[in-house]
Amino acid sequence: MKKFDFYEFAAVLCPGALLVLALTRLLPELAFLGKKDSYSFGDLGIFVLLSYVAGQLVQAVGNVIAKIWWQFWSGLPTDWVRTGKHDLIAKQQTAQLSDKLSELAGIATPNGISGFSKNDWYGITRQMYAVVRYAGRSMRVDIFNGYYGMFRGLTASLLVVIAASAVQRGFVQPRLYVLLGVGLVLALFRMHRFAVNYARELFVQFLTTQKGDKPAASAKETD
């Protein structure tokens, strides 16, 4: 099996592992996964595989949660600079985006970035990321994206665990639901925070990218 990259580990494996561990406590049919005196390398492989599959599936729930959540915030943080609904970067930085888009991406902005539609701007921000990644400046952007995916997945996993607990055990353990509810709120808060950090870092790195920057493949790696 290929090595997991940071995003797969943080956004897929971690939420999947949480969900699998919780389900082994709730469902007697899965008890064999969590009630052993010792575990072999094969058991670990099975657990990782199940966690990866569960993480991929639970991200579907995470996508729904994120879609609903960002509707309350007038769109994704990457869209805030276009709409001006919320502060993300300085006004002077926002003003520089038009020139940078023309210089680095060849995209004309006769009406400013506010003239783009939501769908067009989504595609443009993906191109911004491609420019930043090509220049070897995407490390912090990727880290923030990985943590955003992780907390989105944890939010979804905790929501599924709460639903499964209610079906399997009812509401005879209110302290359990308080604990799970607090965890869900904290995960949602962190999801929001890292989404904002991702968007801000993407624009800052794009603005500081120069046309002559070397591609990531030819740049020297630093610790």
Averages of pLDDT over each 10 residues, the chain, 223 residues: 78 93 79 60 78 94 96 95 93 94 92 92 96 93 97 97 89 89 97 98 95 62 38
Other residues' Cβ atoms within 10 Å of the Cβ of residue 46: 13
Report which residue type is found at 46: I
Kindly state whether residue 220 falls inside one of the protein's structural domains.
no
Domain range enclosing 177: 6-208
Q: What is the rounded CA–CA span in Å between residue 159 and residue 152?
A: 11
Q: Residue with structure tokens 């067009």?
A: 120
84: left (phi over 0), alpha (psi -120 to 50) or beta: left
Structure tokens at 97: 């985006």
pLDDT of the residue at 203: 97
pLDDT of the residue at 214: 72
Kindly state whether residue 223 falls inside one of the protein's structural domains.
no
Kindly state whether residue 76 falls inside one of the protein's structural domains.
yes
pLDDT of the residue at 121: 95
pLDDT of the residue at 32: 58
Kindly state whether residue 215 falls inside one of the protein's structural domains.
no
Structure tokens at 214: 């070397």
pLDDT of the residue at 110: 87
Kindly state whether residue 126 falls inside one of the protein's structural domains.
yes
pLDDT of the residue at 218: 46
Count of structural domains, the chain:
1
CA angle (77 as vertex; 84, 141 as ends), nearest 5 = 130
Kindly state whether residue 216 falls inside one of the protein's structural domains.
no
Kindly state whether residue 219 falls inside one of the protein's structural domains.
no
Q: What is the rounded CA–CA span in Å between residue 15 and residue 93?
A: 36
E strand residue ranges, 92-209: none
